[in-house]
Structure 1
């Protein structure tokens, strides 16, 4: 039995220290995943707690067909999307071509005041439509495979690849304005 299976079995048997360890191992992933969809820090914290409650309640159903991190990311993604649909009323449909990006007329001064290139890039990733932002984050920042992203989001693999391509193109267009 590998360490992941052992940890899961300990949590299922009620070992709260093991559950705390599981949270510690996946907290950054969950927070990062939710923060890509939800802008409010308090909501991100609340949704993160909700995700780990769902993980705890459903851990016995985990079947090891995927990595635990993929399964947890799927729960985080779906919980955040449900929250966004209920409370933020954003105009998007996951898995379809319909996406409405809110136009934000930030001043160039605000954009150029980013402290590092990484923050500057993160700023522009945040401005991508939700599905693009999600796919690019899962693929490049969380290093999930196309197959794992399909499992997490429910989008077909072709759509994942398409959204990833479009996200890169949008980022390239936006960044070309600042980097020659």
Structure 2
């Protein structure tokens, strides 16, 4: 008997994210997702309760990964922490444009309980950034730093709309420089 080389659950999540990004949550059926991973649609119910559960897990995973990545920078000197936050978020955005599109367009389709969890993780992630920025700009009000953080997320998360126009390494460098400049201005 051959041993599967990939975790079926992860394979399903990746296929669902790609389909949701391409066609929207309501434009994708369980059967479509099953076909994408080579199983019948009803076989997916062994892994997930339904499409909403799939979407919830996709968006919870994104939020948890980014939060964990942000929390891992806490012990670094402030400038190193900021560079790590920027690099991590940029790598995520360039590496997973479908996930950004899904989050941008489909969060409202997540059940309320999961949506609250997602929003909580997102707030914690933002506060990781604000904490680093406060160390770099102690005289600046946290509300200003939080607003600057959200603006930088908008900049970085816009990459699905421009993906492929520049090589990934050039785009990453451009985004990093632009985000650093925006955050430096927030401290003025």
Do both share a fold (TM > 0.5)? Answer: no
TM-score after normalising by structure 2: 0.33
